[in-house]
Amino acid sequence: MNITVNGKANQVDSGTSIVMLLSQYKINSPMTIVEVNGTVIPKDEWESHAVQENDQIEIIQLMGGG
């Protein structure tokens, strides 16, 4: 299945959840936001939200610092 993640084409298996996608990218920060087709997906839906063909996904990691 073809999707776009942060502007780059990617292929994933059908039924891939946001949690599985983040795992593939080795992202486990609690300061992460995931947007699918312009809509922010709440963290409590990441396990059940399966990505779909041609989804446009943005993964944003917030960082603190001074």
Average pLDDT, the chain: 94
% pLDDT > 70, the chain: 98
Least confident of 16-25, 41-50, 57-66: 57-66
The domains located in the chain, with CATH, are 2-61 (3.10.20.30)
Contact 40, 20 (CB under 8 A): no
Residue 31: what pLDDT?
A: 92
Quote the CA–CA distance of 66 and 33 in Å, as a whole number.
21
Q: Is the pLDDT of residue 63 over 90?
A: no
User: What is the strand order of the sheet 32-36 is part of?
Assistant: 8-11, 2-5, 56-61, 32-36, 39-40
CA dihedral angle for residue 8, residue 50, residue 35, residue 21, rounded to 10 degrees:
-50
Rounded to 5 degrees, what angle do the CA atoms 31, 3, 36 make? 45
